[in-house]
Amino acid sequence: MEQEGSAEFHVPSLSEPCKTWYKVMGDIQSSTTPLIILHGGPGACHEYLLPLTDLAPSVSLIFYDQIGNGRSTHLPDKAGDEAFWSVGARGLFKDELDNLLSHLGLQERPIDIYGHSWAACWRPNGRRRPRGLRS
C-alpha cells in the first residue's frame, strides 16, 4: 500500500500556509509501529532514502520532504535568511514534524524515527518529544 499527499503547515512568520509533502509505504493504521524517515540536509529530500523500503518490508515507512526541500513548499523569499533557516530554527522543523504526525493521526500512537545526517542532530527530546516516540 502506497499513499502520497501533503499536509498544510502554518508557519507564524509567513502569511501563506506551507505544504509538507509525504509518502506512506505500508499501512500506518496496522498494529506495527510506523517508522518516520527524516532526510538530511538542509537541501536534500527523501528520495535517497527510498531503498530503506527493501530493508524493512514489514514496517510502515513515512517519508517526507522538509519545508524548503523536494516536493514541499519552497520559500525563495527566505533564501539567505539565517534567522529563519539557522540551527536555532530546528523548532520550525520539529513543528513541521508534529504537524505531519497530527495530519496522519499518529500523534498518540507509538512511532519510531530514523534521522539521517543533519536530521539525526535534531532528535526530538524533552518537551518537544512526540508523545508516542519509542526510538
pTM of the model: 0.85
Q: Residue 88 sits in which domain range?
A: 2-128
Query: Tens digits of per-residue pLDDT, 85-129?
Result: 765 556 788 889 999 999 999 988 888 888 877 666 665 554 455
d(CA 61, CA 56): 8
Write out the three cell numbers for 24. Answer: 506512506
**Is 133 within the bounds of a domain?**
no
Residue at 135 is within a domain: no
Considering the domain boundaries, does residue 48 fall inside one? Answer: yes
CATH number, domain of 103, equals 3.40.50.1820
Q: Cβ atoms within 10 A of the Cβ of 45, count?
A: 19
> Length of the chain in residues, anyone?
135
Task: Note whether residue 29 is domain-resident.
Answer: yes
CB 103 within 8 A of CB 95: no
Half-sphere exposure of 128 (CA within 13 A, CB side): 12
Which DSSP symbol is given to 117? T
- Number of domains forming the structure of the chain: 1
* Residue 122 included in any domain: yes
In a domain, 19, yes or no: yes
Q: Give pLDDT tens digits for 1-41.
A: 889 999 999 998 899 999 999 999 999 988 789 999 998 87
CA distance 22 to 60: 13
Residue 134 falls inside a structural domain: no
In this predicted structure, the answer to whether residue 61 has a pLDDT above a threshold of 50 is yes
User: Within a domain: residue 28?
Assistant: yes
